């Protein structure tokens, strides 16, 4: 590998270059009234707004920047019908018989919900439902992964087992020992998906305001008043769909901001891969994420690049050059046919990690809801949860909710806890290397 192979990677989000410029929505410059105000024009907030507008609810969306500016438009674009680290039995154990099975069904159907939403509204976002592959990177993990397949099958998932030969043939690498495969998964351009959700929600009647950060939330006459620098929105209900972007010490809901650990995850896009080599990797144009603690994930883009990602161990110091080198070496090890990996783009986004890897639905105040905690499964989870929450707001039927509504429970020693995943990552990398 040439030592300067990655020097010229642009520190820029690749997705807007493929999706086009952000749609221009106005700044909120008046005092307006609506039934529901959504804070955050990401995937969850816009799915909620689209569902609400489609049901005739007066809804406004207020966004500090523009749709897809944060994690919704900066992730790897994988659409994954699963949860990280926990399986169906764990979910039922943690949530009980009322909510556990409902969340399991929502997760199992989550990828299909995304692609059905795209088809129903004709969203242009380079969506490919080629399936999701979750391969075992070590032979000792095969038995556990097979049990995971069986558990998800019993829960109604479309997951199947690929033996070592089948997985290696489909993936194009001899380094894996079998795989969970779910044909409902896939990938898309997350920036394009979020932008298209904003477009369709606006066409359905949702009022979307950008460059309008929320400064504070007041109340009067039994209603909320959301204040921005140049206007306000009075509403009966608030959906705070900001997930990992909670505003730190100035958060609208400090207890919510301390209830999860924010992660910084980097994404990298290679140069365009030659057609001959592309035909040997992920032959069905699937999305892939494996069983490593230091997760290995990748997918192809519409123009033939590979997008992969990871976290910087220990600290963010020199994170970009370190990841450019280490992720290139990892891809070359797993796919030697790539020969020399060169990246054109590197960027970062945020993720919200909860202690048990399950999402949350917090109630900050009466009719002020704050869902969060997608734990790296954002596209499917935020789509499904946004739609379900909107249905609940309209019908007030608790049966549609896959989670209990609770008060935020701040993590103890949160100031330190937020650094723990990064500090422990080298241990996870060592464990990955020792497994056989």
pLDDT band (50, 70, 90) for residue 9: confident
Write down the mean pLDDT value for the chain.
92
- pLDDT tens for residues 266-275? 999 999 999 9
71 vs 8, higher pLDDT? 71
Looking at mean pLDDT, say which of 78-82, 254-258, 310-314, 374-378 comes out highest: 78-82
Q: Which of 79, 73, 63, 5 is nearest to 347 (CA)?
A: 73
Question: Residues 107, 113, 119, CA angle at the centre, nearest 5°?
Answer: 160
Spatial separation of the C-alpha atoms in residues 229 and 368, rounded to whole Å: 21
Is pLDDT above 70 for 102? yes
- Which pLDDT score, from 0 to 100, does residue 8 have? 67
Is pLDDT above 60 for 212? yes
- Which pLDDT score, from 0 to 100, does residue 314 have? 63
Residue 190: strand, helix, or coil: helix
Q: Are strands 223-228 and 231-235 parallel, antiparallel or unpaired?
A: antiparallel
Contacts of 274 (CB under 8 A, 6+ apart): none
- Comparing 215-219, 330-334, 379-383, 427-431, the range with the smallest average pLDDT is 427-431
- Which pLDDT score, from 0 to 100, does residue 294 have? 80
Q: Which of 318, 327, 269, 271 is nearest to 295 (CA)?
A: 327
- Which pLDDT score, from 0 to 100, does residue 400 have? 95
Q: Which residue has the tokens 């997930």?
A: 243
CA-CA-CA-CA dihedral for 197, 213, 366, 255, to nearest 10? 110
Spatial separation of the C-alpha atoms in residues 215 and 232, rounded to whole Å: 10
Mean pLDDT across 207-222 = 94
- pLDDT tens for residues 249-269? 457 888 898 888 888 889 999
Are 207 and 50 spatial neighbours (Cβ–Cβ below 8 Å)? no
Residue 376: strand, helix, or coil: coil
Q: Which of 41, 92, 106 is nearest to 401 (CA)?
A: 106
Domains of the chain: 21-75+191-260+356-420 (3.50.50.60)
- pLDDT tens for residues 226-252? 999 999 999 999 999 998 776 544 578
- Comparing 3-7, 217-221, 383-387, the range with the smallest average pLDDT is 3-7
Spatial separation of the C-alpha atoms in residues 55 and 73, rounded to whole Å: 26
- Which pLDDT score, from 0 to 100, does residue 375 have? 77
Q: Are strands 78-79 and 160-162 parallel, antiparallel or unpaired?
A: unpaired
| pTM, to two decimals | 0.95
- Which pLDDT score, from 0 to 100, does residue 250 have? 53
């Amino acid at each position: 590998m040439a030592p300067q192979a990655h020097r010229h990677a642009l520190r820029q989000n690749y997705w807007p270059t493929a999706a086009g410029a952000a749609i221009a929505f106005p700044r909120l410059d008046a005092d307006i009234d609506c039934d529901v105000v959504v804070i955050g024009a990401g995937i969850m907030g816009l799915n909620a707004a689209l569902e609400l507008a489609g049901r005739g609810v007066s809804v406004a969306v207020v966004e500090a920047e523009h749709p897809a500016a944060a994690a919704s438009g900066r992730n790897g674009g994988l659409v994954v019908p699963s949860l990280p680290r926990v399986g169906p039995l764990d979910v039922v154990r943690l949530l009980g018989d009322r909510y556990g099975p409902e969340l399991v069904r929502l997760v199992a159907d989550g990828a299909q919900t995304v692609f059905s939403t795209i088809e129903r509204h004709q969203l242009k976002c380079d969506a490919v439902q080629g399936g999701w592959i979750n391969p075992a990177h070590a032979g000792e993990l095969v038995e556990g992964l097979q049990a995971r397949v069986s558990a998800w099958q019993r829960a109604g998932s479309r997951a199947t087992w690929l033996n070592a030969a089948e997985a290696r043939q489909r993936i194009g690498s001899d380094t894996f020992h079998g795989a969970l495969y779910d044909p409902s998964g896939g990938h898309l351009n997350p920036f394009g998906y979020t932008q298209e959700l904003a477009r369709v929600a606006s066409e359905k009647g949702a009022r979307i305001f950008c460059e309008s950060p929320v400064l504070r939330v007041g109340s009067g006459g039994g209603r909320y008043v959301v204040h921005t620098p140049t206007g306000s929105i009075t509403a009966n209900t608030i959906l705070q769909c900001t997930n990992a972007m909670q505003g730190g010490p100035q958060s609208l809901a400090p207890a919510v901001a301390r209830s999860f650990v924010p992660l910084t995850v980097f994404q990298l896009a290679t140069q365009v891969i030659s057609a001959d080599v592309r035909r040997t990797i992920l032959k069905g144009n699937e999305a892939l994420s494996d069983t490593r603690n230091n997760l290995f994930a990748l997918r192809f883009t519409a123009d033939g690049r590979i997008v992969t990602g990871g976290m910087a161990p220990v600290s963010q110091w020199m994170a970009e050059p370190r990841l450019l080198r280490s992720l290139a070496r990892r891809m070359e090890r797993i796919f030697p046919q790539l020969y020399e990996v060169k990246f054109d783009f590197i960027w970062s986004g945020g993720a919200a990690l909860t202690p048990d890897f399950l999402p949350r639905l917090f109630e900050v105040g009466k009719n002020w809801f704050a869902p969060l905690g997608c734990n790296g499964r954002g596209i499917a989870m935020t789509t499904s949860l946004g739609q379900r929450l909107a249905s609940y707001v309209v019908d007030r039927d608790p049966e549609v909710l896959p989670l209990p509504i609770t008060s935020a429970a701040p993590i103890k020693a949160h100031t330190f806890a937020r650094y723990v995943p990064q500090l422990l990552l080298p241990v996870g990398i060592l464990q990955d290397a020792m497994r056989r």
